[in-house]
Structure 1
């Protein structure tokens, strides 16, 4: 009697590097989209405060720094060169201190959907700050998109504030500016170096700058440790922004940019403000108003158009 036929094993299809990069980039954007709702969940509001805003902003960097230090030791990562420590410190000013601190103070005063619309300017702010620091020459179309996006955000903020801007809007704009500055300085560390030395891998950039800040973040976190009762959900929000928003999210995001191509994968970030608003509905119970969605889509459109505008490299230095 012949042996029964065995089904042929069909190998599972493998993702191409470009497809894997796209999915990793999408995962990174999803992680970052939860940052605003989770920060709001951790901090609460002025009426029902939870964790202090300073503790959320600095304490999350302290916890992430301890985890990053353990990861750097386990992987045997080389120590940064002397010239890189200064760049790491400048990057930390934006992504460890400026952005989370101003964002934490702002989301106590406005809901997550409002914050998501204003923070939608972050990609344009990053490009504009990068153009200035790197001496690039954006086209008039780029600056027109940047101006239109800023006008939309200010108009939305004034509409929600009864024809005037609120203090929270200034805090959000400061968060956007500091975040853009930190992103640019961090990207410089990951780019090819002018002296011919190897760039620092992006995962090590975010990890080393968190470790660099531990002498500041740990004492501040202990000094601002909450003394009153705090909901378990607030602690959950704090753990999320500590482990994922500040640290692990960058692993997926940077790896996705590397595999899938920066121009292609970075377009996914256009969805981040909209995802933040959608995720705030089940997490925080916030209503989603059609006008808020319309403003968010308009801001996202200006960001999309700005990325299509030409940006000339800095002029070459003339030989003497």
Structure 2
């Protein structure tokens, strides 16, 4: 497998020249599901989906660094139960220091020319999800007047809407920390980032509050986790996404759009789209166009990410 690293990385060698220095260098479909390698400038993030001994981890990290010309490599262990163990085994799943080479606490990396703050040692999520690059590009290309970015994380979708010319962009997330990180991303692009455009709190509560106020958006972006614990219980995307789509539809203007994303390999694309349609029906809305967005050329044969842009009546 190590012998294949260089030719796999060579397939993506054109991306930095096109203004993208944050991307998937090696995908799991190219390693029999054992590992993936993300690149952020001269830092690498090695995600392991199989059991490796400490020696094997170090050897693989060193091989990735040599093949990609990296200064340092960070490790993310991603067993199937990682989403449940994140709060109790955080440092084992995502060691804060590099497993190989020099530390890079923070990297400014580019995606289609847009700079983002990437923190390779920051938990399992490092500031951006490379597979959503086509969807972020779609938002920047379309960028209607009013955009609501739900489950905003570090506000990549909101940032692209603002760069595309949207007059009003609201980013909603349950973490003040990631919203502040999003404001840093705005600042890198020279954009104003007033606090009232970064809404802290439960997304479901915010949807209800915005609906009561009569607010309507020309585009609502939904990029929820596949699993989460909240004050109202467990959120499971495979069970609850339709309800989320209904709430989003209630604040989507007539003729507006809904961009739905789900990173969950266990949910087939057809099942995902059916959930969304049922949710729209419950909200009394119909979709009359759906555009499916892929995960990008650096994710060959990827089926985990579902990204669909809907136009509502």
- TM-score, length-scaled by structure 1: 0.23
Structure (1/2) with the larger helix percentage: 1
Structure (1/2) with the larger strand percentage: 2
- TM-score, length-scaled by structure 2: 0.24
